[in-house]
Structure 1
């Protein structure tokens, strides 16, 4: 079952790679963040988008291209497990919901994809976007028409009618026109929604198990799907080789989804000890999205708040609780994968999440692991990405300074190579 999921996602990992052999000369190299071992003076030999070998010292060969990073710290390309490339929160966000076409959103997404790649994120999971827009963007990046990270895409989120993933807060006519086909009620209808998302091209199924902060409805942050609906969703997705991840704030929704066999939780704001036990029992991942909580709280409590009253109430409630949640989860031994919910906060600022993870109690190395080896394992892509070794994708970044001492240096990535192509 999970092998099929990995196959579906790996299909999106190919792309346009450099034709010539690269010799990347790294002053310091963290090839496998799982070990934490930093090596000095290494050369990565890259051909046809893959790492061929890693050798001691600085070497090159005639006809090859040397990338001189002797003064830099080199590590695997970063993975953001939760973004929304086709938009970004701003005072005009609600107007954009009803004025931008799918084509508009895809073009907007192309700009944000470039920003994200230049920030050092060579793979992202886009969790919740217009199907046509994000699937077109994913294909354009794969073809090389658009400069951006490899995209794992869910397309539209599966949601209950009137729930966080439905269209909310407009006239009834507008809401009917914009309602996604992934909205469902009842176990059988939810199976239908999952199957249709796979049919439309989803690499992963994203659901809204609870209410959400930025849906313009005073429906709270508690569980929205019934237990039977959650079980049907997870079963239908797994039968079609897809993992299921759940937007979930309220503890009732978190625990119900994990009991139904769900694979990962996005946000996890009100998780409790039972949640932690369920995460560990299932081997599920938590994607804390601390930047999103920080951002919505700052907007809602600031002088230029552009959120609606319903959004503001939820932002002031949930935002300040997320840091302590991540600390409890980490101390409890929950597996954490890096994710920012960028599109709530600004695209390109993704690496700000590292400092928040450290503030929540992770060491700098553990924070880096969430965005490399952990995130790769989360998507069943450890054989392709997350570390640097012969046969793996040549996705790597470089920074000045030592991120194992000061994780904030990852906010200033100086070089990016994706699939063997030097993009920065």
Structure 2
């Protein structure tokens, strides 16, 4: 039912006030099963009344008076739940196709985000954190009602050491930037040493970032490193954390290998992205610091599927690395869940197709009986 809930926003009779329209509307969704996202039991045969994009009444069937002229949607027993949050997407990417990226003008790349954001809304995701590649203007366009999309927080650029996961230098000696993305309002994130990291953080924050993202390990989709390699020193990461905190912002770390995860935790990042090679020591650190894990279990699987469908479009070493991390990734996630680490859903959409966010939830809760608990867990 979340798909239908999000489609409501685009009904011609319901206009977002920020888009400049003046039409208001009443909407009633009847015969629905409410999942409140707070851990309570599902409530069946419920009616939800919405006015001007706000829920104004909620009650059992027959208890809510529906005003004349209200648009009514029969949920037919389907589930109605709050919008989902995806804490790791890349709207300016879709699949790791380097050649296509080289042939895509920046203006077209921005326009390509429009159907991707709509697909994300249609998947029931109403808030995202874009983990790199989206300039602040994209977020502003959504906020101003220029284009439809989920609420956004943006990291804009990825801070990476020279030769690191976010360095766009390829073996042919071409520097194509962060996965081929180049916008004038997207600062270069390649930085070495404390002073360069400090300046990079300040430039990215000046560009409108809500989060600072750091690559503290190698990754699957970088050409010159391994997921287990450690990148950036503790001091460099700590400098970024300090500068972000000074502007009341936090840091997220692309961190797959053990040492790079440890360095990021020692420096005080707020979230670990991927966390492929966790250990009991690292899990204890995450618990004591209340650090979130954003597992993105679907990401390496998407890379493998893309390489199988298009073997000529993905460098072989990337497919090999993706295959190599999948089982360790699953094991680390299970360890973190069993230990009680805070988990946030993130898909790394852009590595795979946008609008398939629910696949991550399926991987996070392998047993169907666990899926209700997953979507109904309070923060």
TM-score, normalised to structure 2, is 0.85
Q: 2:167 is matched with which residue?
A: 166
The CA deviation at 1:140 is 2.1
Q: Which runs of 5+ in 1 are unaligned?
A: 1-12, 375-424
1:174 is displaced (CA, Å) by 3.8
The CA deviation at 1:22 is 2.5
Specify which of 18, 22, 27 is matched with residue 22 of structure 1. Answer: 27
- Alignment correspondent of 2:144: 143
Q: Does 1:126 align with 2:133?
A: no
Between 35-44 and 223-232, the greater mean CA deviation after superposition? 35-44
1:99 aligns with 2:110: no
Matches of residues 23-422 of structure 1 in structure 2 within 5 Å?
23-31=28-36, 33-58=37-62, 59=64, 60-89=66-95, 93-131=97-135, 135-169=136-170, 171-172=172-173, 174-175=175-176, 180-300=187-307, 304=311, 306-359=313-366, 363-369=370-376, 373-374=378-379
- Residue-by-residue CA offset, 1:9-31 (whole Å, 9 max, x unaligned): xxxx9955972232232421112
Give the whole-Å Cα distance in 1 for the aligned partners of 2:301 and 2:86.
17
Matched residue of 1:35: which SS?
Answer: coil
- C-alpha deviation, 1:346, in angstroms: 1.1
Residue segments in structure 2 that go unaligned for 5+ positions in a row? 1-15
Contact 1:289 1:339 in 2 (8 A): yes
The alpha-carbon distance between structure 1 residues 220 and 118, as it changes in their structure 2 partners (threshold 3 A), is closer
Q: Deviations over 1:380-400 (max 9, x none)?
A: xxxxxxxxxxxxxxxxxxxxx
In 1: Cα distance, 2:258 partner to 2:301 partner: 20
Distance 1:301 1:20, change over 3 A: closer
For 2:181 and 2:29, locate their aligned partners in 1 and report how far apart those are by CA, in whole Å: 48
Measured in 2, the distance between the counterparts of 1:278 and 1:265 equals 12
Q: How many residues align?
A: 354
Q: SS of 1:44's equivalent?
A: strand
SS at match of 2:272: strand
Distance 1:108 1:36, change over 3 A: same
1:139, CA displacement in angstroms?
2.1
Q: CA RMSD in A?
A: 2.6
CA contact (8 A) 1:167 1:178 kept: no
* CA–CA distance in structure 2, aligned partners of residues 362 and 269 of structure 1: 25
Q: RCO greater where, 1 or 2, for CA within 8 Å and sep 6 or more?
A: 1
Give the structure-1-normalised TM-score.
0.77
Provide the C-alpha distance between the structure 2 equivalents of 1:170 and 1:14, rounded to a whole number of angstroms: 50
With over 3 angstroms needed to count, the CA separation of the structure-2 counterparts of 1:302 and 1:72, relative to structure 1, is closer
> Is the contact between residue 293 and residue 322 of structure 1 (CA under 8 Å) also seen in structure 2?
no
Cα displacement (A) at 1:367: 2.5
- For residues 18 and 333 of structure 2, the distance between their equivalents in structure 1, rounded to whole angstroms, comes to 34
Q: C-alpha deviations, 1:331-373, integer Å up to 9, x for none?
A: 1111111111111111111111122111289921332146xx4
SS of match in other structure, 2:155 = strand
> How far did 1:72 drift?
1.5
Q: 1:212 to 1:294 in 2, by over 3 A?
A: same
Cα distance in 2, alignment partners of residues 361 and 243 from structure 1 = 34
Change (3 A) 1:151 1:236: same
For 2:203 and 2:325, the matched residues in 1 are separated by: 32
> Is the partner of 2:49 in helix, strand or coil?
strand
Bigger mean CA deviation after superposition, 73-82 or 356-365: 356-365
Q: Deviations over 1:93-150 (max 9, x none)?
A: 212332323211111111211111112111111101053xxx3322222222222222
User: How big is the shift at 1:293?
Assistant: 2.1
Instruction: Describe the shift of the 1:143–1:130 C-alpha distance in structure 2 as closer, same or farther (beyond 3 A).
Output: closer
